[in-house]
Copies of this chain bind each other. A is one copy, B any other.
Amino acid sequence: MPYTAPVSEFKFLLAHVVDFAQVTATQQFEGAAADVTDAILTEIGRLCDEVIAPLNRAGDLHPARIENGVVRTSPGFSEGYRAIAEGGWIGLSAAETYGGMGLPLTLNTALNDMMSGACLSLQLCPLLSQGQIEALSHHASDDIKALYLPKLISGEWTGTMNLTEPQAGSDVGAVQSKAQDNGDGTFAITGQKIYITWGDHDVAENVCHLVLARLPEAPAGTKGLSLFLVPKRLPDTDGKPGVLNGVSVVSLEHKLGLHGSPTCVMQYDGATGWLIGPPQGGMAAMFTMMNNARLGVGVQGVGIAEAAMQHALAYAAERKQGRTPTGETSILGHADVRRMLTAMQADLFAARSISLACAVAIDMQTATEASHWEARAAFLTPIAKAFGTDVGIAAANDGVQVFGGMGVIEETGAAQFSRDVRVTAIYEGTNGIQAMDLVSRKLSDGGEAAFGLIKEIEDTTRAARDVFPHEAEALWNAAQTLREATEWMLSQEDLNDRFAGAVPFLRGFARVLGGLFHLRSALAAPKTARSALMRVYIWRLLPEISGLLAQAQIGGADLYDLDFGLQSA
């Protein structure tokens, strides 16, 4: 049951749902005309179908391992990585000056979605390089950029993010790694970092670590953190990887999923590093890297939802079991199997549309520097991250259910999707933290970005009144419920009352946004399966918002009434 990259789906979404034309109408992205975009999506699809997807099972069955102190990756991963690098895909959105294609992040989002569906373990490697390219482009000196960016963009070298320490996970400010000025423009980095994805490997000749550490006498908390670039091998005078730096991989984690992705404990023993950005400017630089990475992780969920849906659908279409009311011989004739598969498809469409809308906003921000695009992108980012990964987890779980007993037999691969995708709701900021970001920082504009989106939903329902009167009305009503919930959030002075409802609020917001994109899709293709899918979404999934947005507006007091000592009560 092979994966087929949803190339034509992306073409439809870009053309009819997320208004990609406005991006290509800008001077910055005029090179991404429809024919270029189509050719690129088709080429990515071929790479994913033919080269990357066939590696997915091997990554699970033959995990990355340490051999004589270095990481050996799963069979075929080296070749797969090289194909990605040689296609130029790592630098799809990177500056042409350094060898990138300079194309919109929206296309990069489609790339990340398809690569994730094909093989999430492998996709993580270029995803982290993309984040590092982004951070260096914005914060590194010209010398650093000139040396590192071409290597990262070509894929000769790869990048990692080193934030977490055992006591410093979500609480980045607790980082204890130290940096000492060597007096020659370099710094000596010492400390231990955990959960370092692709922290070491054998698919490229050098690994470049971006490491958060603390200079002497730096203040406590996040304000005292600086960012350093620490390569595994120090570049020699020709810019080739030279002697080994004082950084080593201590061990690999034994994880639920993503066995093909080496998750390293890294030890820095006075390793040579270069400061990126100003001293104590680590968090600003890190946020650049993390912001787009959040969208990238959301899209990992979308990619797995696509793969799990295809996989379950192919199985259901073959599996015969019991009489079905329609006389269909496969289990696709059973209403409950259809309920699961249509929900997977409808959710997948919603989550993918949200991620692409977020990417379009980022591209418009880049091209126009307009603050309303920036606000929109900032608002959509935590939603894209949390909803995309929630949908990925739910779809993979439903995929297992469609397989019945075969779902828990590892040979079928259904369970692998659910294992691989689980961490996406955790890393790059847990989905709870995304939701807290949404209801605090992202509402600090007084709700301008939120209400802008709600107005867009209202406008679309007005435009759809003649064609889909009932569905337009249902979505209009949902927008009013969402408006009330948003106003409630804004009226809470105690942030913790917002936080108590943050996750259901984010989920409710995403649900209504999904309705917007489904309605647009149906308007562009009435009387097709797209309209049928829109109806499934509006009548089966959208009603969830009553429960979600009711819970969003309770405040936190009831949660603190519990002492969790029930058992001894």
A475–B551 alpha-carbon span in the complex (Å): 16
B419 & A404 in contact (Cβ 8 Å cutoff): no
Taken together as a complex, chains A and B put the C-alpha atoms of A436 and B530 apart, in Å, by: 28
Is B171 in contact with A321, judged by CB distance below 8 angstroms? yes
Residues of B close to A337: CB separation below 8 A: 432
Give complex CA distance A432, B337 in Å: 8
Report the bound CA distance from A322 to B433 in whole Å.
11
Q: How large is the interface on A (under 10, 10 to 19, 20 to 34, 35 or more residues)?
A: 35 or more
Given A322-B170, A411-B254, residue A554 in contact with residue B540 (CB < 8 A): yes
Within 8 A of B (CB), among A295-353: 313, 317, 320-322, 325-326, 332, 334-342, 345
Our pick among B8, B253, B550 for the contact of A568 (Cβ within 8 Å) is: B8
Of the candidates B317, B540, B562, the one whose C-beta lies within 8 Å of that of A536 is: B562
- Cβ of A559 and Cβ of B536 under 8 Å apart? yes
Residues of A384-425 at the interface with B, using a CB-CB cut-off of 8 Å, are 393, 397, 400-401, 404-405, 407-411, 415, 418-419, 422-423, 425
Using a CB-CB cutoff of 8 Å, which residues 542-569 of chain A contact chain B?
543-547, 550-551, 554, 556, 558-569
A551 proximity list for chain B (CB < 8 A): 539-540, 543
When A322-B171, A543-B546, A543-B547 are in contact, do A339 and B500 touch as well, CB less than 8 Å? yes
- Confirm or deny: A228 has a beta carbon within 8 angstroms of a beta carbon on chain B: no
Task: Please give, as numbers and ranges, the residues of chain B lying within 8 Å of A339 by CB-CB distance.
Answer: 500, 503, 559
A12 CA / B567 CA spacing, docked (Å): 10
Known contacts A339-B559, A532-B562, A558-B536; is A425 also within 8 Å of B404 by CB? no
Within A191-210, the residues touching B (CB, 8 Å) are: 195
A388 → chain B, closest Cβ, in Å?
A: 16
Residue in B12, B255, B256, B564 whose beta carbon sits within 8 Å of that of A341 in the complex: B564
Give the dominant DSSP class at A's interface: helix
How many subunits of this chain does the assembly comprise?
A: 2
Per-residue B-contact encoding for A521-535, CB less than 8 Å = 1, 0 else: 000010011101101
A256 B415 Cβ-Cβ under 8 A: yes
Judged by a CB distance under 8 angstroms, whether A164 is at the interface is yes
A471 shortest CB reach to chain B, Å: 11
Q: Are B496 and A335 in contact (CB under 8 A)?
A: yes
Q: A164-B405, A408-B255 are in contact. Are A502 and B8 (CB under 8 A)?
A: no
A430: CB under 8 A from chain B? yes
Chain B residue contacts of A171, Cβ below 8 A: 321-322
Distance, CA A408 to CA B263, complexed state (A): 11
| A426 close to chain B: CB less than 8 A | yes
Whether A499 is near chain B, meaning CB under 8 Å from some CB there, is yes
Q: Are A336 and B435 in contact (CB under 8 A)?
A: yes
Interchain CB contact under 8 A, B408 and A503: no
Q: Is the CB of B9 within 8 A of A345?
A: no
Q: Considering only CB atoms, which chain B residue lies closest to A348 in the complex? A: B566
Note all chain B residues with C-beta closer than 8 A to A535: 558, 561
- Tell yes or no: A488 within 8 A of B by CB: no
Whether the pair A530, B566 counts as a contact (CB closer than 8 A) is yes
Q: Kindly list chain B residues whose C-beta atoms are within 8 Å of the C-beta of A496.
A: 325, 335
Whether a CB of chain B sits under 8 angstroms from the CB of A287 is no
Complex Cα distance, B339 from A432, in Å, reads 10
Q: How far is the CA of A535 from the CA of B422 in the complex (A)?
A: 30
Task: Give min CB distance, A405 to chain B, whole Å.
Answer: 5
Residues of B contacting A76 in the complex (Cβ-Cβ under 8 angstroms): none
Chain B residues with Cβ below 8 Å from A565 are 529
Residues of A within 8 A of B (CB): 4, 6, 8-9, 12, 164, 167, 169-171, 174, 195, 253-257, 313, 317, 320-322, 325-326, 332, 334-342, 345, 393, 397, 400-401, 404-405, 407-411, 415, 418-419, 422-423, 425-427, 430-432, 435-436, 494-496, 499-500, 502-503, 525, 528-530, 532-533, 535-536, 539-540, 543-547, 550-551, 554, 556, 558-569
Q: List 12 A-B contacts (CB under 8 A).
A: A12-B569, A169-B404, A253-B409, A256-B400, A338-B560, A393-B397, A405-B426, A405-B427, A407-B422, A529-B561, A543-B546, A545-B547
Q: Which 7 A-B pairs have the closest CB atoms?
A: A532-B561, A336-B432, A335-B500, A544-B547, A338-B559, A256-B415, A546-B546
